[in-house]
A and B are shown apart, each in its own frame.
Chain A
Amino acid sequence: MIVRPYGDTTGDGMVQVSFTLPLAHDKRAEGAAVQLANKMGLDPAMLVHAKPMGEAFTFFVVYGRVNHLVDTATVQVAERDYPLLSAKEVNAAVKRRLRRRLSVVGACIGTDAHTVGIDAILNVKGVAGEKGLEYYRELAVTNMGAQVSVPDLVQAAVERRADAVLVSQVVTQRDAHLHNTRAMAAAFREALPAHRRPLLVVGGPRFDELMAAELGVDRIFGRGTTPREVASYLVHALLGEDRK
């Protein structure tokens, strides 16, 4: 289907945008705002509001008609391969399908002292207004903190009957994050038979999300991952109907 934006008449193509330019407010600045709008495809562009903010900035609101057409048939969406669930849905799924709390053990391994990632995912405080996994009633979370050795992590995972192990790696000097992840995956393979091995998840800002198989883990999460995405993934991977 071919569509264009809708103001008050089908096909009118009307949109509204607002932005700031680093210019003092005067006629020239207003002209600059219209020029930007034109370059964005708004033609005609109506400058409806301009407000100085301090000496050197001006805020603009522009209404205008865009000439672009959108073809819904050619839209490409990078689909997440699992549905994003709310905390309530995660809890309900665990309760229904597992009938006990799902055990999660998290740590920063090696010499990495940056708990910022694992804490953002696990602490109740969470990140960007989203609560961490501790907040999920049906998840039993153990956060081992920083500089945890791989043997200690394996032992804690066994003791807590971990369904999933989350490892955060921020430091990447000499590829420490990759070495640590491989060592961790190998230790779990050695210590536990395949059917008792927890789901292994690593996260950190410098990982390539496509390297999971190569590093011997089940999933890699990159920069900007939220607790909810991790929780949804755990439900999908551990409790999905397709997993035996």
Chain B
Amino acid sequence: MGKLGLDPAVVARARELAARAGQPVVELARSHTTVSVERAVLRLAGVAGADSDGIPWVNRLVDAVAADVGLSHGVAVPVFDALLREGLDDVTVLAQKAAAGAVGFRMPVKPGAARRAAGTAVRRGLRLVDRRRAERDRLIRRYGDAPRRPWIYLIVATGDIHEDIPQAQAAARAGADVIAVIRSTGQSLLDYVPEGATREGFAGTYATQENFRLMRAALDETSKQLGRYVRLTNYASGLCMPEMAVLAGMERLDMMLNDSMYGILFRDINPVRTFVDQRFSRQIHARAGIIINTGEDNYLTTADAVEAAHTVTVSQLLNEYFAHEAGLQDWQLGIGHAFEINPELPESFRLELAHALLARELFPDAPLKWMPPTKHMTGDVFRGNLLDGFFNLAGVMTGQGILLVGMMTEAVVTPWLSDRDIALQNVRYVLDGAGNLHEDFQPAPGGFIQTRAHQVLDEAVQLLADISDKSLLDAIASGTFGIMKRPPDAGRGLDGVAAHASDYFNPVTT
């Protein structure tokens, strides 16, 4: 089996090493909480809306609880203890009172009643997530699914949700199976989720619950017209991963960007914060039936795509380990990789095929997310269109599951209507002309492609062995991934992390 003749023992060894490297991080995630995890719990428990300055009530409530009793017990017990004491039945009202200083919080000696009340409240939130998942399944049955693999994934990013909507609907009509709304630059560093419909963003549109709802409703309408269910993507990344996951689950988003290390390496978010947030967010995605997209393409934009090929494989294996541990199934793993080898390099396309096929064979049941060239797009739109054609060809030859459509105007402008049309023509030509080429594509045994794939896997195993000898946190601290050194006691969001006390209680995860 397999086109690369990979040694199953080496593949098993790679997974075993990834698990060994990841285990201490999982332990860390199980024994800590963060402000964003606690806010996500409160969102599931029904806290909604924001104060007149736009600060969400979940932020005000978590801050108030933390000021009185700290974060280490979890906020559920002190919040529901206060709710019962005050005789209130709306947690948002409690948040408003707490923000005004009218309510104090304590850890009750007997937490049973508060725990039960918290459990009942979050079950309502989780049942909504469950209903949304069932609704997705129903709509896919009713409207039909995307007609083929790979799914065609297109981006909109105007900054204004009301401009995004017609653009997204037009993209869907033109053939997109998945619409991603790019977030405003810098949202990942906000320690709160903005509220409401937004019409201004920087190179993207703010991710808010209302924007999610508006876009999903618009795409439902388009799905009905087109007779196929169009999926919607956003980002569970940055300082609010857990809350984004909850909001996505409640508003029936279908995919979320969710990488285990992206925030650490590229946004300088504290490693512990990221791993704790990541685990909770993935648990929610697992329940919501959301497909995650991991971010390995980013390594290749900072490092050389040939030299660093094995770091992509290592990150993929770690992302897989963390995802499985959090309860995600293989069909939910849009493991990422990208077509970023310098086209001036001799045999660059054969190298791309080797790397893409390696990912395919390492994760046979995952819908791989195949990312187009960006680093070597120069503004020469004609050459860019050719490069995108080869990217599409590599995608069909290696059976990729989700194809992010490359734009010839990458690095020039945000895509014009005509850029998107030309890019989709390119994709359609390749899919129609060579969509089943993978059936005939069989790299020669011992040939260039096989040899290169084996080499990358061997290098990945070596790096995983090094990492699991020390620890993943040390590896990140010493600059193993990308070029950034990210120590566990530095980075953004560290002050929002707390170790569990012995009486820590989280009604979502217990």
Contacts and interface: CB of A to CB of B under 8 A. Distances in A.
A57 interface: yes
Interface in A1-49: 18-20
Contact of B483 (A18, A53, A129, A135): A135
Contact of B484 (A19, A59, A116, A134): A134
A116 B186 contact: yes
Contact of A137 (B374, B417, B483): B483
Interface stretch (A117-125, A155-163, A178-186, A196-204): A117-125
Contacts of A51: 421
Interface in B301-322: 301-302
Given A135-B302, A135-B483, A137-B483, A124 B265 contact: yes
B203 interface: yes
Contact of A124 (B170, B202, B266): B266
Main secondary structure on A side of the interface with B: mixed
Contacts of B173: 54
Interface in B369-404: 374-375, 377
Contacts, number: 61
A115 interface: yes
Contact of B268 (A53, A120, A123, A128): A123
B189 A119 contact: yes
B509 interface: no
A143 B484 CA distance: 14
B185 interface: yes
Contacts of A134: 268, 484
Interface residues of B, number: 29
Nearest to A128: B411
Interface residues of A, number: 25
A125 B417 CA distance: 26
B174 A54 contact: yes
B202 A59 contact: no
Given A116-B186, A116-B202, A125 B418 contact: no
Contact of B266 (A125, A143, A145): A125
A127 interface: yes
B267 interface: yes
Given A18-B418, A116-B186, A129-B411, A124 B374 contact: no
Contacts of B374: 129
Interface in B398-434: 410-411, 416-418, 421-422
A131 interface: yes
B218 to A, nearest CB: 16
A124 B184 CA distance: 16
Contacts of B185: 116, 119-120, 127
Contacts of A54: 170, 173-174
Interface string B157-192: 000000000000010011000000000111001000
B482 interface: yes
A53 B417 CA distance: 8
A59 B186 contact: no
Contacts of B410: 129
B203 A125 contact: no
Given A59-B421, A116-B186, A123 B170 contact: no
A7 to B, nearest CB: 16
Given A54-B174, A129-B374, A131-B302, A124 B484 contact: yes
Contact of A143 (B184, B268, B411, B482): B268
A128 B484 CA distance: 20
B492 interface: yes
B205 to A, nearest CB: 14
Contacts of B416: 20
Contacts of A120: 185-186
Contacts of B265: 124
Contacts of A18: 418
Contacts of B417: 20, 53, 57
A22 to B, nearest CB: 9
Interface in B243-275: 265-268
A168 to B, nearest CB: 11
A125 B484 contact: no
Given A59-B418, A145-B492, A127 B203 contact: yes
Nearest to B374: A129
A137 B479 CA distance: 12
A117 to B, nearest CB: 9
B378 to A, nearest CB: 11
A123 B202 contact: no
B418 A115 contact: no
A48 B184 CA distance: 39
A59 B302 CA distance: 36
Nearest to B381: A18
B55 to A, nearest CB: 11
Contacts of A131: 301-302
A19 B422 CA distance: 12
Nearest to B492: A145
A181 to B, nearest CB: 21
Interface string A122-153: 01110111010011010000010100000000
6 contacts: A123-B267, A123-B268, A124-B302, A128-B203, A134-B268, A143-B268
Given A123-B267, A131-B301, A143-B268, 11 more contacts: A20-B416, A53-B418, A59-B418, A116-B184, A116-B186, A119-B189, A123-B266, A124-B265, A128-B411, A129-B374, A129-B411
Q: Which 8 A-B pairs have the closest CB atoms?
A: A116-B186, A59-B418, A53-B421, A125-B266, A20-B418, A129-B411, A116-B202, A124-B266
